[in-house]
């Protein structure tokens, strides 16, 4: 029994499946499409939300070092993903790679874990999207009822005429300066986050209609947000005050993870969420025209561009204003405000870019998760309904609709902090397993043709796995408890359904 848990899927069968293209998915994506898909998934909540919050709470100006640490870990993992994606161009990402190298049970673990990355990430980013949309609409005197803009049960001050920034940690000071007595304001209990739910519903419909239409929409969103980010960096350098960078590494408060070097590590673990997405490129492998060539381009190209932009934004943002003022939902907008009234024209543009950027992240996350379900169902580990392809649109419509519905519920009721930490720990675990898988496959199958080869094996992959594990250890204990509970649910599903319906297990048991 225990031995059967680690049966592997034949690499020959995987390669033949990719060659025959019997999946029914349409091959339309080019190298440029894959790169923009990666950028679309990576640049979003990390640059528009988490950069400022992590600097304010954990690392100060040294958040730049946190980005470099996470970027190095992602670079190592990205090189490993690139080798796998070029060698096994099958939808399923790390799940498929683990099935071919470490065995079915570990493949199930990684597949179940990837739900934390893709499905929960879509919900997480939609909450950030909601914040920027509410703020943008308020600038034009359009107000959504406060009770419909936050997680269920959240206690909020109902201030329809005050901007989003004043509804953050600095609420009291901001309102007092405007002559408002906070104690006299009505308080409401949030019912649901309606804007977050709405964007997921819209993008789910788009993804059902077709991969080409989704990719074109993503390209527009990527061009918009990258252009504005470059504009912010170029203008922002003129307003940098070097005194805001001192001390570059704030003294630790006496509590692990709050500034000092431990804060840098904690910050790296938290903002790792900012890098999530480049691996989503690998979930679209069966829809790429030339996956052996284009998958490494898409993965490494999107990761490189995004890392450079993250570091530059972190440098500029912490130079324009003190890191202590950045624990807000729209830190980039705070930076624009600090430039003076003459630069207020940039504020709505930044918000539009944030909305566009977060939209593309949600889109790519909602694109990735159904394709994980699709591949797991094709292997028999999930019910066949998850592998159905729409006869007209050639998309996994059932999986897409189900993913969208669950993401809508999560976005409506859970706060961004819980969602974000779950996504980070789930992704770090996935990356660590992929790095280890490269070392295993180099030992067990050195003969396989590899269009792209990860350099410095086994040193580089093992370093990648180690850095990921260190960042996991730096995350809060409550996040680990939630991961354990989530994995326990996955074990129940696997041992009650998956193990009994595994197609690979039936192939192995068939007399030859």
Residue 329: its pLDDT value, please? 65
Q: What are 14's two structure tokens?
A: 């995987």
The answer to whether residues 429 and 458 touch, using CB atoms and an 8 Å cutoff, is no
Report yes or no on 11 lying in a domain: no
Query: Mind giving me the DSSP string for 92-126?
Result: TTHHHHHHHHT-HHHHHHHHHHHHHHHHHHHHHHH
**Which pLDDT tens digit goes with each residue over 77-115?**
889 988 888 888 776 677 888 888 888 998 899 888 888
Backbone φ and ψ of 500, nearest 5°: -90, -10
Distance between CA atoms of 295 and 467, rounded to whole angstroms?
24
Q: How many domains does the chain have?
A: 1
Residue 22: its pLDDT value, please? 59
Q: What is the pTM of this model?
A: 0.77
Report yes or no on 274 lying in a domain: yes
Report yes or no on 281 lying in a domain: yes
Q: What are 341's two structure tokens?
A: 């009234």
Give the C-alpha distances (Å, rounded to integers) separating 273 from 294, 368, 408.
25, 16, 20
Report yes or no on 509 lying in a domain: no
Residue 242: its pLDDT value, please? 92
Report yes or no on 56 lying in a domain: yes
Count of CB atoms situated within 10 Å of the CB of 72: 15
Gyration radius of the chain's alpha carbons = 23
**Which pLDDT tens digit goes with each residue over 253-269?**
888 888 999 999 888 87
3-class secondary-structure state, position 448: coil
- In order along the chain (512 residues), what is the average pLDDT of each group of 10 residues? 74 71 70 85 77 88 91 87 83 78 88 83 83 82 78 50 41 50 52 88 89 79 88 92 93 89 86 75 78 86 90 93 84 85 85 85 85 88 90 86 91 72 81 89 86 92 90 82 91 93 80 56
Report yes or no on 442 lying in a domain: yes
- Provide the residue range defining the domain that includes 93: 32-154+190-447+459-497
Residue 319: its pLDDT value, please? 95
Residue 200, judged by CB atoms within 10 A of its CB (0-12, 13-18, 19+), counts as: buried
For position 145, which CATH number holds?
Answer: 1.20.1740.10
**Which pLDDT tens digit goes with each residue over 434-477?**
899 899 889 988 888 888 899 999 999 999 999 888 878 877 78
Burial 106-126 (b: 16+ CB within 10 A, else e): bbbbbbbbbbbbbbbbbbbbb
Spatial CA neighbour of 483 closest among 496, 472, 474: 472
Report yes or no on 173 lying in a domain: no
Of the CA atoms within 13 Å of residue 233, those in its CB half-sphere come to: 16
Contacts of 92 (CB under 8 A, 6+ apart): 99, 111, 283, 371, 372, 374, 375, 376
Report yes or no on 74 lying in a domain: yes
């Amino acid at each position: 029994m225990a031995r059967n848990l680690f049966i592997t899927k034949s690499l020959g069968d995987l390669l033949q499946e990719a060659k025959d293209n019997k999946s029914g998915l349409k091959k339309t994506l080019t190298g440029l499409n894959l790169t923009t898909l990666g950028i679309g998934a990576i640049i979003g909540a990390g640059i528009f939300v988490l950069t400022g919050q992590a600097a304010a709470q954990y690392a100060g100006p040294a958040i730049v070092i946190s980005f470099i640490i996470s970027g190095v870990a992602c670079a190592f993992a990205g090189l490993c993903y690139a080798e796998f994606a070029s060698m096994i161009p099958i939808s399923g990402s790390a799940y498929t790679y683990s099935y071919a190298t470490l065995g079915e049970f570990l493949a199930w673990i990684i597949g179940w874990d990837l739900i934390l990355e893709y499905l929960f990430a879509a919900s997480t980013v939609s909450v950030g999207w909601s914040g920027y949309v509410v703020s943008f609409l308020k600038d034009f005197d359009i107000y959504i009822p406060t009770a419909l803009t936050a997680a269920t049960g959240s206690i909020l001050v109902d201030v329809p005429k005050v901007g989003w920034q004043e509804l953050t940690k600095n609420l009291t000071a901001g309102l007092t300066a405007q002559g408002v007595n906070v104690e006299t304001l009505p308080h409401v209990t949030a019912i649901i986050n309606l804007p977050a739910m709405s964007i997921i519903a819209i993008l789910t419909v788009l993804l059902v209609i077709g991969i080409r239409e989704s990719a074109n929409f993503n390209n527009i969103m990527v061009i918009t947000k990258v252009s504005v980010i470059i504009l912010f960096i170029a203008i922002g350098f003129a307003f940098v005050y070097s005194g805001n960078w001192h001390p570059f590494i704030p003294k630790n408060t006496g509590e692990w993870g709050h500034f000092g070097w431990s804060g840098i590590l904690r910050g790296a673990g938290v903002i790792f969420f900012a890098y999530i997405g480049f691996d989503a490129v690998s979930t679209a492998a069966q829809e790429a025209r030339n996956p052996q060539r284009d998958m490494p381009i898409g993965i490494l190209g999107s990761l490189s561009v995004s890392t450079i932009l993250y570091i530059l934004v972190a440098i500029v943002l912490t130079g324009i204003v003190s890191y202590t003022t950045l624990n807000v939902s729209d830190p980039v907008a705070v930076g624009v405000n600090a430039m003076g009234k003459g630069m207020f024209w940039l504020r709505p543009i930044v918000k539009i870019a944030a909305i566009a950027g977060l939209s593309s992240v949600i889109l790519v996350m909602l694109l990735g998760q159904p394709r994980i379900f699709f591949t797991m169902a094709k292997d028999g580990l999930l019910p066949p309904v998850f592998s159905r392809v729409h006869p007209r649109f050639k998309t996994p419509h059932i999986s897409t609709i189900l993913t969208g519905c669950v993401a809508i519920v999560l976005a409506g009721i859970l706060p961004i902090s819980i969602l974000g930490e779950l996504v980070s720990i789930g992704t770090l675990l996935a990356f660590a397993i992929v790095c280890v898988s490269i070392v295993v496959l180099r030992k067990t199958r050195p003969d396989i043709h590899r269009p792209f080869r990860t350099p410095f094996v086994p040193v580089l992959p093992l370093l990648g796995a180690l850095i990921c594990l260190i960042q996991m250890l730096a995350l809060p204990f409550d996040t680990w408890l939630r991961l354990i509970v989530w994995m326990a649910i996955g074990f129940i599903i696997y041992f009650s359904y998956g193990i009994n319906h595994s197609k690979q297990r039936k192939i192995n048991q068939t007399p030859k």
